[in-house]
Amino acid sequence: MRVLHVCSELYPLLKTGGLADVMGALPFAQKEEGTDARVLLPGYPAIFAGIPETYVVAEFFNFAGHILLRYGEYNGVGVYIIDAPHLYDRPGNPYHDQWYQDYTDNYKRFALLGWVGAELATGLDNWWHAEVVHSHDWHAGLTSAYLYNKGKPAKSVFTIHNLAYQGRFDYRHLYEIGLPAGMFHVDGLELYGEISYLKAGLYYSDAVTAVSPTYAKEITRPEFAYGLQGLLGTLEYQGRLHGILNGVDEKIWHPNNDPYITDHYKLKFMAGKKKNKEQLQAHFNLPLNPNVPVFVMITRLTEQKGVDLLLETTDEIVKQGGQLIVLGSGAQHFEQGLWGLTQYYPQNVAVKIGYDEALSHLMVAGGDVILVPSRFEPCGLTQLYGLKYGTLPLVRATGGLADTVVDSTSENIKAGIATGFVFEHADPQGLRYALNNAFALWQKQRLWVNVRANAMAQDFSWALAARSYQTLYDRI
């Protein structure tokens, strides 16, 4: 089957969030499973730098001007690149300028992405036609609208990575991007009087996926739907909305071959985890004590991620003798709050503001518990890394967190299915309850080791996700 992924980021060439991680793994996993998967990307400087050898497969003029379509390969997967310097040859972030102002021509930049995605199903490349066009997030949302307008020459799938970003633009741009006025309707592109590229992906696709089963259910409710609960509820009723969990790229995230840590380990040989813990404590100048649990958190410092809940419950970690290490950046008041904790509890709390890829790997490898107390989380990746590394996730029961972590109740421990700690309500009391459960299990090291073994035995590989997507493609 020939599948085209239409997207705006690809790890490690260009990344602003989790979308890039998915695109840097899913097409490659599908290729290994036998799917002829290719990727379409805008021609940002970082993309051309990472794929320097390309050749032109098409040249055309349309609403976006004079465009070349180039083709190359990255790690064995075919990649189409839209060569349009007047739209994409800009330094830094692909969506906004250095003052965080969205580019005023984003409507055209990403309409072109969708247009080319649809044309690759109808002969833009004479040698390869997509049978399924799989678009990702609002940047690629118009792909399905263009396919619909062309009589649906290929099946279409749209994946929601973050429903909060909807790609909304003024109605007056509709005539500029080659779509008929009749599609600007509540049953179409229109959302609150504007064009919504995200809604186009939802409405016109043959199937819509969210990045976890629980998130697929949550987004049909008003508190998670950002005004789209009616449409999403209809998609659910029609059987067009599906939840497929993201995976872990084990070439990058596995304790036995992690390129960022020196002391590797695996389920049957755990000595390396103790060494990583010692290195982590030394790095942050915390007491080198193997007998205290180390809680780690790697995150954007926002309310969504539950940072305020952590600030209100850190005293529980300190009171019971634990250590807390946080890596991240974000809202200034959260950064200041965390710095304050390091001053108040210098023997128990350490913080690094910013991001450090190598340090994040050491934290996952050296920690005992990884904290993900999010208010909402479409899928989440850090809890999956924690499971893989035997760093038990402590999470709130939402989205992909609820789908991937089993609470360490006595019943679940006896059944051999416990893998971490889960709390229900996004408040300090809920997080404090889960912290207490973690300390209680830590006091029973035999049970802790059993739960850790359960966690490390979980399989969240991209091969599983690739097979799930293939089943969906076959169905449509």
Residues 6+ apart with CB under 8 A from 391: 296, 364, 365, 367, 368, 369, 370, 385
Which among 196, 181, 184, 224 is positioned nearest to 138, based on CA atoms?
196
Check if the beta carbon of residue 299 is closer than 8 Å to that of residue 335: no
State how beta strands 155-160 and 349-353 pair: unpaired
Structure tokens at 293: 């649990």
Q: Cis check for the bond before 428: say yes or no (omega within 30 of 0).
A: no
* Annotated binding-site members for ADP-alpha-D-glucose: 15
Question: Which token pair is 2?
Answer: 């020939």
- Cβ contacts of 5 within 8 Å, gap of 6 or more: 23, 26, 27, 37, 38, 39, 40, 134, 135, 136
Please, which residues have CB within 8 angstroms of residue 400's CB and are 6 or more apart in sequence?
211, 212, 214, 215, 245, 246, 377, 378, 379, 380, 383
What CA dihedral angle connects 407, 387, 414 and 441, to 10 degrees? Answer: -70
Can you say which residues are annotated as belonging to the binding site? Answer: 15
Q: Name which of 450, 374, 456, 373 is nearest 410 in CA terms.
A: 450
Among 253, 264, 200, CA closest to 231: 200
CB-facing half-sphere around the CA of 124: CA atoms within 13 A: 25
- Long-range own/partner contacts, residues 260-264 (CB < 8 A, 24 or more apart): 260/357, 260/358, 260/361, 260/362, 261/361, 261/362, 261/365, 263/365
Residue 369 and residue 273 in contact, taking contact as beta carbons nearer than 8 Å: no
Compute φ and ψ for 220, nearest 5 degrees. -85, -5
